[in-house]
Amino acid sequence: MSTPAGIDPRGPRFAATITTALLLVATFLGLVGTSPAAAAATLAERALDPGFLLAVVIAALFLWSVASPATAPWGAIFRRFVRPRLSPPSELEDPRPPRFAQGVGLFVVSAGLVLHLVGVTWALPTATAAAFVAAFLNAVFSLCLGCQLYLLLQRAGVLGRPASTA
């Protein structure tokens, strides 16, 4: 199996910037919504909490990025409006680590959503804050924690086939 075609490394960073803003708002809404009293709130109250609803949208965007990265909204916006205004990238990057990172974000936010629905206090803002930190590091410092995890798992032989050293 050959390595997938490379992607512009600025694309995932652009997506991380937008995701950072959404996760910051979701964390704030989770802190002021029903999360502090999730155990006492009804299921309907927890499901209609604005922080929960925004986190559902964020999880759907993560899922979209994992299932169909070519059609995901932030990538499409980057390719259509941002990349044409930039010089060509000096090198392309393997799309598998950023895609895996989107899956990690999906897992973290989804865990927060499920735990929030069952009444676990602070689960939602904790999950969105954790995802926020990862997205922020990628957006500001180009440090993709999910990508690093992918590479670590690849070296350990858990994921994919390690790149040949030849």
Where exactly are the structural domains of the chain? 10-85+92-155
Both tokens of 13, joined, read: 């960073």
pLDDT of residue 39: 78
Q: What is the mean pLDDT of residues 131-140?
A: 98
pLDDT of residue 9: 93
Quick one: how far is CA 96 from the chain centroid? 14
Q: Which residue has the tokens 């804050």?
A: 129
pLDDT for 1 beyond 50? no
Q: What is the mean pLDDT of residues 132-153?
A: 97
pLDDT of residue 41: 86
Q: What is the mean pLDDT of residues 95-110?
A: 97
Give the count of beta carbons closer than 10 Å to the beta carbon of residue 138: 24
pLDDT of residue 33: 84
**To the nearest whole number, what is the mean pLDDT of the chain?**
92
